[in-house]
Structure 1
Amino acid sequence: MGLIARLFRDTRGGVALIMGLSAPAVVLGVAASVEYGNIALRRTQLQNAADNAALRAANELALVSSDTYIQNLAVEAAFDAARATDPKITRVRAEIQNRRSWVKVEITETVKSVIGRALTLPSSEVSVSATGQVVGTSRICLLALDTKARETLHLHKGARVTAEGCALYTNSSARSAAKIEDNANVTASLLCSAGGVEVKSATINAEQMTDCPAKADPLAARTPPTVSGCDHTNRVVDGSKTPTLSLMPGRYCGGLKITKGAQVTLMAGIYTIDDGPLKVENASIRGEYVGFYFTGDAGGLVFDPKSTIDLSAPKDGPMAGLLFFENRTVSNPLEPLLDLLSPVPPPPLGSTPMRTYRIVSDNARNLLGTIYLPAGRLVIDAKKPVADRSAYTIIVAKQVELFDGPNLYLNTNYSATDIPVPKGVGPKTERSISLVQ
């Protein structure tokens, strides 16, 4: 009995006993960590394969009409990428979604498990997915450049935009970047917002996309025309004194006002409207191959309801294809007012300084060319169609607002005119490919 008692009190060799008993658990834990790391690495490899396949297939959406071809392309691309890192047997599925603007790729792979086999779980499933989207396949007819303000594209009080076959974009990240309300109507191939689209009591006949990648200013590289000395200062054409008149291109310092029934023909060339507005009040202006360059804080324009406007952009020179072009900087702009017109509604809170370009004319049927106002707010509140007789009209402005019932037409008959379309808008737009998820 004494020997037995001493045996139980003897602690010699205890550490070895503990190590011996715990060793299998330690080895199992290390092996599990290594295996988990390998599975995590494989998941990353498969996710990269899905991402690449989704982007490649999305790029083909604008080029290929066959859904089967695009799905097969996505599957093959995913297989190739997945097997390049590990030649296991994977399962790939591709699906075209969201009215043919998304391609979703799913990859599933069975991963064998040494540790799992010991626990009656010899394998596990690793699944990943990616969705690629294509933006910009439609022709750009309108782009609101402001990246932060609310309602950078705003239609209300029965306003309409008819842009069949082309797209409307807004770069603002605000939840109401595009706001369509109060019986307004949009007809286009695409309404694409970097932020959100808010619709209230309105109709949108267009594919809607939110969280679109913001589009860089497609005309940012255009060089402004050269400005020389003043050819005219505070020029006023009074129809009660001079009913008809032809004006020559040049620099109109302090602006240009055409009023009281005057009928003015503009000779071809560039009209620099410097530190004053272009005003047409109860009068008419007509000009072929003319471009207006606005500069100075007092720049801008206003066409009153009784004015007649018939203009086409230059076909060559520094303003080729540009009907309106403005200096890209402004610090303290003044709104151009006419006695008979009330001020326009204020711009959204948080807006930076902008010149105002207001078209109220009920006879502005031809505005052929591109309206480029990178520091401007275009306001159209006519009650009759605007630009409906133009072969094409493109608008790139900081903000665009339509109210009081106009119908702005953004036609796309580019081949019907010799006025060139600036690169980056119209028929030659760049596609933007990105991952949705």
Structure 2
Amino acid sequence: MNNIGDLLRSKSGNFGMAAALISLALAVGVGVSIDYSRALTNRQQLQQALDAGLLAAMSKTSLDDRRNALQNVLRANGEGTSVMAVDFDFGSNLIMNQNTDGSVTASLQDKVDTTFMQIIGQKTLPIRVKSTAIATGTTKGGTCIWSLGSSGQDVLVNSGATVTAPDCRMDVASTANPAFIMNSGSAIKFGKFCVKGKNYIKNGGTLDNLEVGCTPNPDPYAGKLPEPTLPTTCTTSGYPNGNTFSLAPGMHCDVGFNGSPTITFQPGLHIIKGRMIINSGAKVIAEGVTFYFPDTNSEIRANGALTFTGKAPTTGTYKGILMFEKTSVASNNNNKTQYIFNGSNGETLEGIIYLPNRNVTYNSTTNVAAKISMVVNQIIFNSANWKVEPYDGGASSSSGKMVRLVE
């Protein structure tokens, strides 16, 4: 009997130990689940903070300014919560990169202290979040270039043409067949390439974000630009001699410049009546300047290798207008003429360019860095290298842009 009793007591002790181990395992499992659940909650809070901070940061322009703005939002969202300690090290835990499409990606890592998992030696759980945002377009619609014509082949992109404008739309009003032609060896990269018609010819090349059957934004300047009264006399005419010229505001009538001079247009309104010919190799400075063409036979014709800086006035009657033509008479509007921009060493353009009666051609290698709002009838790109941003009237930040998360 004693042997049987001893055996039963032994088995009872083993069952008790097994039950205790099972209970401990269950407790640890529940504890692990609680720790992971808290880590998941913190991760969600961190993701929300990162998304909100990155959207706010995109109102800045430089990557450093965006990083500072993001850190400020993250600190504000972290106060009074379990997300990020007061002494959180952004330097080693926050990574921001500018992507090739203009978007910005931010990656953030943190850790959550465990409670139950410390029993098995796991004192913290890592959490990582990532977000990507992009600022595109403007509150005015984001259009940089309008082509208003609809007689066929209203936009022609030839081999060698490159236009990089991810924050811009190009609006093509043509419903002709074809509305536009694009040839191989070219690259047109707008945020949106909106064509009203549905017929086009694409022989190759790269065309980003094409949308046919699209409703283009309307001409924003029709009948709204203040047309000046012409002076009774010309300020400049003929072919003046010299290597350096400083032209006062006024009317310049059939003017030409020999050699390769430096021509400075003083701030103000410059009326170009007839043709102004600027020879190859010239340097043109026109800051705070508006050019006005009183008829469609008037133009500035540059003969290549030009260096040109043109910026519109920031105040006054012609604020924001770099170049425009008379559109209040039928004789101009019924006379669509060619306007040729020959090759340049480099151009910087800033302002409104309003030439709705011109079929504009960019020849040779025209290197343009532009903040423009340009309206033409037709446009041909020949070996033109453009980098284009929307003209915002002189604002320096991207606060007018539409910001969205893309990841």
- Asked if Structure 1 and Structure 2 have the same fold, meaning a TM-score greater than 0.5 normalized by the shorter chain, the answer is yes
Moved more, 323-332 or 186-195: 323-332
Name structure 2 gaps, 5 residues minimum. Answer: 1-54, 56-138, 403-407
TM-score calculated relative to the size of structure 1: 0.54
Work out the CA distance in 2 between the residues paired with 1:289 and 1:159: 29
Identity of aligned residues (%): 22
CA contact (8 A) 1:294 1:326 kept: yes
Secondary structure of 2:175's counterpart equals coil
* 1:75-111 deviations in Å (ceiling 9; x for gaps): xxxxxxxxxxxxxxxxxxxxxxxxxxxxxxxxxxxxx
- Aligned AA for 2:324? F
The offset of 1:140, in angstroms, is: 0.3
* 1:387-423 deviations in Å (ceiling 9; x for gaps): x2x4x122111111111x11122124748x4699xxx
CA contact (8 A) 2:358 2:376 kept: yes
Equivalent in the alignment of 1:407: 385
The offset of 1:370, in angstroms, is: 1.7
Work out the CA distance in 2 between the residues paired with 1:138 and 1:207: 16
Equivalent in the alignment of 1:261: 260
Work out the CA distance in 2 between the residues paired with 1:281 and 1:329: 32
Equivalent in the alignment of 2:208: 206
Equivalent in the alignment of 1:278: 276
Equivalent in the alignment of 2:218: 216
The offset of 1:203, in angstroms, is: 2.7
Work out the CA distance in 2 between the residues paired with 1:428 and 1:273: 35
CA spacing shift, 1:306–1:236, aligned 2, 3 Å: farther
CA spacing shift, 1:237–1:369, aligned 2, 3 Å: farther
Equivalent in the alignment of 1:80: none
Name structure 1 gaps, 5 residues minimum. Answer: 1-64, 66-135, 334-350, 421-425, 430-437
* 1:19-52 deviations in Å (ceiling 9; x for gaps): xxxxxxxxxxxxxxxxxxxxxxxxxxxxxxxxxx
CA spacing shift, 1:395–1:297, aligned 2, 3 Å: closer
* 1:279-333 deviations in Å (ceiling 9; x for gaps): 2112222121101000124212322112221111111233211111011267788
Aligned ranges 1:322-337 → 2 under 5 Å: 322-328=321-327
Secondary structure of 2:200's counterpart equals strand
Work out the CA distance in 2 between the residues paired with 1:407 and 1:198: 23
- Aligned AA for 1:294? F
CA contact (8 A) 1:233 1:255 kept: no
Does residue 140 (structure 1) correspond to residue 138 (structure 2)? The answer is: no
RMSD: 3.1
Does residue 150 (structure 1) correspond to residue 152 (structure 2)? The answer is: yes
Aligned ranges 1:258-407 → 2 under 5 Å: 258-274=257-273, 276-282=274-280, 283-328=282-327, 353-386=335-368, 388=369, 390=370, 392-403=371-382, 405-407=383-385
CA contact (8 A) 1:370 1:393 kept: yes
CA contact (8 A) 1:301 1:356 kept: no
The offset of 1:138, in angstroms, is: 5.3
Secondary structure of 1:143's counterpart equals strand
Equivalent in the alignment of 2:245: 245
CA contact (8 A) 2:193 2:210 kept: yes
Work out the CA distance in 2 between the residues paired with 1:260 and 1:330: 37
Residue-pair matches, total = 264
Work out the CA distance in 1 between the residues paired with 2:296 and 2:221: 21
TM-score calculated relative to the size of structure 2: 0.58
* 1:240-285 deviations in Å (ceiling 9; x for gaps): x311121101122x333233122111110011112x0232112222
Work out the CA distance in 1 between the residues paired with 2:207 and 2:265: 38
CA contact (8 A) 2:156 2:381 kept: yes
The offset of 1:191, in angstroms, is: 0.7
CA spacing shift, 1:259–1:367, aligned 2, 3 Å: farther
Work out the CA distance in 1 between the residues paired with 2:364 and 2:171: 22
- Aligned AA for 1:181? N
Equivalent in the alignment of 2:20: none
- Aligned AA for 1:251? M
- Aligned AA for 1:224? P
Moved more, 278-287 or 405-414: 405-414
Work out the CA distance in 2 between the residues paired with 1:142 and 1:225: 22
CA contact (8 A) 1:394 1:410 kept: no
Equivalent in the alignment of 2:231: 229
The offset of 1:427, in angstroms, is: 5.5
Work out the CA distance in 2 between the residues paired with 1:244 and 1:313: 22
Work out the CA distance in 2 between the residues paired with 1:379 and 1:200: 19
Equivalent in the alignment of 1:159: 161
- Aligned AA for 2:377? K
